[in-house]
Structure 1
Amino acid sequence: MGKTKYINSMGELSRKDDSICFRKNGKNVYIPVENTTEIFCLNEVSLNSKLLDFLSKSNIIVHFFNYHGGYSGTFYPKEHLISGKVTIKQARLFEEQREIVAKSIVNGIRENMIEVLMHYYKHGKSDIKPILTHLKKDSVEKLEKANNIKEILSVEGYIWQTFYSSFNHILREDFVFNKRVKRPPDNPLNAMISFGNSILYAKTVTAIYNTHLNQSISFLHEPSEGRFSLSLDLSEVFKPVIVYKTIFDLVNNRKISVNKHFEKNVNYCMLNEEGKKIYIEALEGRLESVKEHPRLKRKVTMRTCIKLDGYKLLKMIMEGKEFKPYSLKEGI
């Protein structure tokens, strides 16, 4: 896969010959088309239809973020891999086996949370043992008893709340966590979670774009107009592995500071420009980290693993093979 380009400053994007040009403060920065898969606009950026046509022909996706660092939307080129056959079978799987796929996703979230927390338990954070017990036993029983999507979503909520309860045992005191607040985030930890989740969601949109899957037919989240709900599904199991591991590393190794890297107001908190750069660099580092894939017998990045989950779902849609999302423990 090609590279991701992040634009943190205000400016103008345009086409210059066969390149993309970003102009700010009277200076031009050129973005090569050949090895660029997606562009993240994290500030106010202007562009025109000439550029959009060029981006579409080059199959480059552009993600837009708002002032608070939340996901606003995506410029999505025409789907070059769209398949009516896959869409029909994907809809059939939704009708016949939605709960099975949804449970598999929730169980994948749970297993990856356990693997992330076990690292801290083994390194002296013994206070989280009851939390691990809840994730290993109670949540499994709850998930097995869930009979419909509403109940499965309730178990997912329980699992996330259990995971959140570990934070004050793991993180430094200045990153206190009371509860998850999203729109807008109200403290530095919530700001990093929201920003990371938004980037991961956009990355998943890009990954699914490069498969035959239909973005609008999801299994855990309710399919709805105006959003790529399948990307919400497939990104969930990667949140503990990519977003939260990145945050834990930045906080505990003092790479990010409450006083230096955030803008705070009465109603919101967000990463400042320097904070975003630090966070993005760490997140990209984790996405590009390479591990040996036990089945493929070759090294793959975490970014590729997101796309591989899309292929696993395709296998279930087209061949009836069980869908088991990415497992941090197993490396697949």
Structure 2
Amino acid sequence: MKKSYYLFNPGRLSRKDNTLQFTPVDEQGKEGPCRYIPVETVSDLYVFGNLDANSAMYNFLGKNGISAHFFDYYEHYTGSFFAKDYLLAGKMQVEQTRHYTLRNKRMVLAQKFVEGAAFNMLKNLRYYNNREKDLAQIISQIEGYATQISATSEVAELMGIEGNIRQTYYAAFDTIVSGFTMVNRSKRPPLNEVNVLISFGNMMCYSVCMDMIYHTQLNPTISFLHEPGTRRYSLALDLAEIFKPVLVDRTIFRVLNKKEIQPNDFMTDINGCVLKESGKKVFVKAFEERLKETIKHRTLSKSVSYKHLVKLECYKLSKHILNIEEYKPFKIWW
């Protein structure tokens, strides 16, 4: 089975026969022992350190359908390499564009994304509220905001409600998490440990959504809740709204409450707070375990992984756009 590989150290990636060869290089330019990765086992690469690779290497990755996602020193997602879009279809492109340009069709999908996100956030809060964390007031506030979703007529109005829901939801983190405080949501740069993990986890979730979209006929640049940009795969942002509470937030609660990540896994400087390599490895391991975890799917009547749930969401969205079946956002049912 193919899987994701994470390259934390700077180094050089090259081809050796039908194998990927990664040679770590330290700050003094000294090479470490090579690591060999059979290409048939790789689904994608997550690159956190400086990577030296030539065009022949990327041609090799492209021919084998391997994508690479890049992050900078501050855990910001900076871009991805994808192989040629081999599944894009003209009919899907036309219909997806139509669902964006017709306001009533766009609003239906945009509302569904916020509805799914709000439901999954509330599910997290109720879980901890039932475990002696007093979150009743926050839950009530979000429930009130959620009732306004269906009444919106403009995306900007809907985004305002989504922002209120998420701001209220984040206010619960200081009650849920032990040993760390979040205070307020801060980005670019995140100012404390909890904000660092949220930003890092959100980028990981965004990358997973991009990768799953790539394996469908959907065009990743045409979105419905987030405004399509000139240089980003904005449809992944739409899908990530639904899955961040399930994949990212629950991972954060685990690694902090179980003390898998400690204060010394972070570093604070004038540019904000940064997750050290030790912390990244712990978080990535927990995030991967979450993606591989399986649940019994009610419709398919079989066990599927969380990662596969993201791909199923893409298929559901595709059916809606092609007028085959109405889209219903993923909502935690357990």
TM-score interval, smaller chain: over 0.9
The answer to whether 1:134 aligns with 2:141 is: yes
Question: 2:49: which partner in 1?
Answer: 43
Q: 1:280 aligns with which of 284, 290, 296?
A: 284
Q: Which amino acid aligns with 1:99?
A: M
Q: 2:22 — aligned with what?
A: 22
**Structure 1 SS opposite 2:43:** strand
SS in 2 for 1:240: helix
The CA distance in 1 between the partners of 2:106 and 2:250, in whole Å, is 29
Q: Deviations over 1:193-243 (max 9, x none)?
A: 111111111111111000000011100000111100001111111001110
Pick from 305, 312, 315 the counterpart of residue 311 of structure 1. 315
Provide the secondary structure at the position in 2 that maps to 1:178. Answer: coil
TM-score (norm 1): 0.96
> Displacement of 1:320 after TM fit?
4.3
Q: Using the alignment, how far apart are the partners of 1:155 and 1:170 within structure 2?
A: 23
Q: Answer yes or no: is the 8 Å Cα contact 1:217–1:229 preserved in 2.
A: yes
Across the aligned residues of Structure 1 and Structure 2, the Cα RMSD in angstroms comes to 1.1
Q: In structure 1, the residue corresponding to 2:36 is in which secondary structure?
A: strand
2:199 is equivalent to residue 194 of structure 1:
yes
Out of 211, 229, 238, the residue aligned to residue 234 of structure 2 is: 229
1:321 aligns to what SS in structure 2? coil
Contact between 2:182 and 2:193, CA under 8 Å: does it hold in 1? no
- Long gaps (5+) in structure 1: none
Q: TM-score, normalised by structure 2?
A: 0.95
- Aligned equivalents of 1:26, 1:284: Cα separation in 2: 26
- In the alignment, what sits opposite 1:81? 87
For each residue in 1:57-79, what CA deviation from the matched residue of structure 2 results, as whole angstroms up to 9, or x when unmatched?
00000001001011010011110
CA contact (8 A) 2:180 2:193 kept: yes
Contact 1:262 1:270 in 2 (8 A): yes
In the alignment, which residue of structure 1 is the partner of 2:27?
none
Q: Distance in 1 between matches of 2:135 and 2:18?
A: 54
What does residue 329 of structure 1 align with?
Answer: 333
Say which of 85, 101, 106 aligns to 1:98: 106
Runs (5+) with no aligned partner, structure 2: 25-30
Identity of aligned residues (%): 38
**Shift in Å, 1:170:** 1.3
* 1:252 shift after superposition: 1.1
Amino acid at match of 2:277: E
Q: What SS does the aligned partner of 2:113 have?
A: helix
Conserved 8 A contact 1:115-1:329: no
What residue number does 2:73 align with?
Answer: 67
- Describe the shift of the 1:124–1:26 C-alpha distance in structure 2 as closer, same or farther (beyond 3 A): closer
Q: 1:315 & 1:55 partners in 2: Cα distance?
A: 30
The structure 1 segments of at least 4 consecutive aligned residues displaced by more than 4 Å after TM superposition are none
The 8 Å contact of residues 109 and 238 in structure 1, kept in 2 or not, is answered as yes
**Does the 8 A contact of 1:63 with 1:202 survive in 2?**
yes
| Aligned mates of 1:320, 1:216 — CA distance in 2 | 22
Cα contact 2:3–2:42 (8 A) shared by 1: yes
- In the alignment, structure 1 residue 175 sits paired with structure 2 residue 180: yes
Deviation track 1:160-209 (CA, whole Å, cap 9, x = no partner) reads: 0110111111112x411121111111111111111111111111111100
Instruction: Indicate conservation of the 8 Å contact 1:112/1:329, yes or no.
Output: no
Alignment length, in residue pairs? 326
Give per-residue Cα distances to partners, 1:33-78, cap 9 Å, x unaligned.
1121100001111100010000000000000100101101001111
The code of the aligned residue for 2:333 comes to K
1:219 and 1:233 in contact (8 A); partners too? yes
Shift of residue 278, structure 1, vs aligned partner: 0.5
Write the distance in 1 (CA, Å) between the matches of 2:156 and 2:325. 25
Match of 1:13 in 2: 13
Mapped to 2, the partners of 1:132 and 1:71 lie a distance apart of 31
TM-fit CA distance, 1:267 = 2.6
| 1:94, distance to aligned residue in structure 2 (A) | 1.5
CA distance in structure 2 between the aligned counterparts of 1:329 and 1:129, rounded to whole angstroms: 20
**Helix, strand or coil at the partner of 2:322:** helix
In the alignment, does 2:263 pair up with 1:255? Answer: no
- Which amino acid letter does the alignment assign opposite residue 44 of structure 1? N
Q: Give the counterpart letter for 1:101 in structure 2.
A: L
Aligned-partner Cα distance in 2 for 1:17–1:26: 20
Distance 1:236 1:2 in 2: 26
User: 1:198 and 1:30 mapped to 2: Cα distance?
Assistant: 27
Q: How far apart are the structure 2 equivalents of 1:135 and 1:218? A: 25
Aligned to 1:298: 302
CA-to-aligned-CA distance 1:127-155 (integer Å, 9 cap, x gap): 2101111122x112321332100000001
